[in-house]
């Protein structure tokens, strides 16, 4: 095929999503290097992302371009490619969430540098979906999410809490300070562990550099916020059995996780897997259901997806505003990679191609029912 033919095919493909090559709409793709066409056709979404990193194309509203791309299901056009099939087979054969791979995946993403995350996140250093009702800025929305989690867990003074995947200690600090609980937080990230230990130094909080499979002890409450995507479906049952073992008989657990509509063996886009979140898989409702079968009662399952687009766009604004300082350490290619990551995810959430769930679990069911589900009122 000639370059002209490549261009025609790509143009026809993108037109299915209402995207025009070199068009006048802000979400259209402006091609800077015509090698983009062949790269996109040969490598699918991996080629799309890599060619953006290389500066071969631009889009003034990248998040809307990707939302249209997702709504039109264009990723499925590449699902029979040799690269896609090999990746799917690899996910079925290998355990991408084993201890070694989990640690490596965390190191590659979360240990990039705390300076990057400090520039992008709010003062709580919370790197998960915020809760925006009643909030006027990112910090307020993240405090709203932390408060939401505390209320759903019905925290009370004196309780013991296990935070699996504690990040930089934002939830542990908030819960200990505002609800009088003691918290054990675990993470595989050395950089996160050091920062979390500093943040929580004057609180009844213990931060451990530890894999979730190694946890001992029992707790009144067990939660994970934005960690379950790193577990991978072959380990979902092991994760839930760990939570069950660590949770007291009358305890509650909360799972805050991305979700997807369709069950697949490999949960992430090829570009995301290579450059952003290696060894991760976004779970489906079916996969979560199978993992908790005969272990837990589902007390509540809430979809908070619409909050995530706004969170990602806020992170993107912070990242771009602070790029002049970050550019002394990170390359322009990294700049484009990180921008692409944040805006692609924002587009996926805008299109509802991804979801965000909070699932509350108990071992035997709360006698009389779970109060939050019975009276779902919002605090504003």
How many CA atoms does the CB half-sphere of 91 hold within 13 Å?
A: 22
Does residue 99 carry a pLDDT above 60? no
pLDDT digits (tens, 9 = 90+) for 222-258: 999 999 999 988 999 999 999 999 999 999 999 999 9
What percent of the chain stands above pLDDT 90?
80
Return the domain boundaries, the chain. Answer: 3-78, 97-374
Tokens of 200: 């929580």
Does residue 87 carry a pLDDT above 60? no
Mean pLDDT of the chain: 90
Does residue 89 carry a pLDDT above 50? no
Cα distances (angstroms) measured from residue 379 to each of 115, 283, 329, 357, 369:
33, 29, 41, 19, 21
Query: Residue 264 contacts by C-beta under 8 Å, 6 or more apart in sequence?
Result: 88, 284
Q: Supply the pLDDT for residue 269.
A: 85
Q: What is the DSSP string of 157-210?
A: TT-EEEEES-TTSHHHHHHHHHH--EEEEEES-HHHHHHHHHHTTTSSEEEEE-
Does residue 23 carry a pLDDT above 60? yes
Does residue 107 carry a pLDDT above 80? no
Query: Residue 176 contacts by C-beta under 8 Å, 6 or more apart in sequence?
Result: 182, 183, 200, 203, 204, 205
Q: Supply the pLDDT for residue 75.
A: 80
pLDDT digits (tens, 9 = 90+) for 270-303: 899 999 998 889 999 999 999 999 999 999 999 9
Does residue 110 carry a pLDDT above 70? no
Per the CB < 8 A criterion, the answer to whether 130 and 310 are in contact is yes
Q: Report, as an integer, the average pLDDT of 351-380.
A: 86
Q: Report, as an integer, the average pLDDT of 331-358.
A: 97
Does residue 363 carry a pLDDT above 80? yes
pLDDT digits (tens, 9 = 90+) for 296-310: 999 999 999 999 999
Q: Supply the pLDDT for residue 374.
A: 76
Among the ranges given (105-114, 210-219, 225-234), the one the predictor scored with the smallest mean pLDDT: 105-114
Cα distances (angstroms) measured from residue 177 to each of 164, 169, 183, 277:
19, 12, 11, 32
Q: How confident is the model at residue 85 (pLDDT cuts 50, 70, 90)?
A: very low
**Is 3.30.505.10 the CATH number for 97-374?**
no
Q: Supply the pLDDT for residue 232.
A: 86
- Pairing relation of β-strands 160-164 and 182-187? parallel
Higher pLDDT, 336 or 4: 336
Q: Supply the pLDDT for residue 93.
A: 53
Q: Supply the pLDDT for residue 106.
A: 53
pLDDT digits (tens, 9 = 90+) for 141-197: 999 999 999 999 999 999 999 999 999 999 999 999 999 999 999 999 999 999 999
Does residue 379 carry a pLDDT above 80? no
Distance CA 239, CA 97 (A): 11
Q: Supply the pLDDT for residue 1.
A: 54
């Amino acid at each position: 095929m000639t370059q002209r033919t490549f261009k025609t095919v790509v143009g026809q493909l993108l037109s299915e999503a209402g995207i025009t090559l070199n068009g006048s709409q802000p979400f259209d793709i402006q091609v800077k290097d015509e090698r983009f066409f062949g790269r996109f056709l040969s490598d699918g979404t991996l080629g799309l992302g890599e060619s953006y990193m290389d500066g071969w194309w631009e889009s003034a509203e990248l998040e809307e371009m990707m939302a249209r791309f997702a709504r039109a299901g264009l990723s499925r056009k590449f699902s029979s490619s040799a690269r896609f099939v090999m990746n799917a087979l690899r996910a079925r054969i290998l355990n991408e969430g084993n201890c070694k791979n989990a640690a490596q995946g965390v190191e590659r993403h979360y240990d990039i540098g705390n300076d990057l995350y400090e520039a992008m996140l709010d003062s709580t250093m919370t790197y998960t979906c915020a809760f925006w009702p009643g909030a006027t800025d990112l910090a307020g929305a993240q405090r709203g999410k932390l408060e939401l989690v505390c209320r759903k867990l019905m925290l009370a003074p004196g309780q013991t809490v296990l935070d699996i995947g504690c990040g930089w200690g934002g939830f542990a600090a908030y819960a200990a300070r505002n609800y009088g609980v003691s918290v054990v937080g675990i993470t595989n990230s050395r950089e996160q562990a050091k920062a979390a230990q500093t943040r929580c130094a004057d609180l009844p909080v213990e931060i451990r550099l530890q894999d979730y499979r190694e946890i001992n002890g029992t707790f009144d409450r067990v939660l994970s916020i934005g960690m379950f995507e790193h577990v991978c479906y072959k380990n979902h049952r092991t994760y839930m059995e760990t939570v069950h073992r660590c949770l007291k008989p009358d305890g509650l657990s909360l799972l805050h996780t991305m979700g997807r509509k369709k069950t697949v063996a490999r949960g992430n886009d090829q570009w995301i897997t290579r450059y952003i979140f290696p060894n991760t898989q976004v779970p489906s409702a079916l996969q979560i259901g199978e993992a908790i079968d005969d272990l837990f009662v589902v007390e509540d399952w809430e979809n908070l997806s619409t909050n995530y687009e706004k969170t990602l766009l806020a992170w993107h604004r912070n990242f771009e505003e602070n790029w002049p300082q970050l550019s002394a350490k990170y390359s322009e290619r990294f700049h484009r990679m990180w921008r692409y990551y944040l805006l692609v995810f924002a587009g996926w959430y805008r299109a509802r191609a991804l979801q965000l769930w909070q699932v509350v679990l108990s071992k035997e069911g709360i006698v009389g029912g779970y109060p939050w589900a019975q009276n779902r009122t919002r605090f504003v």
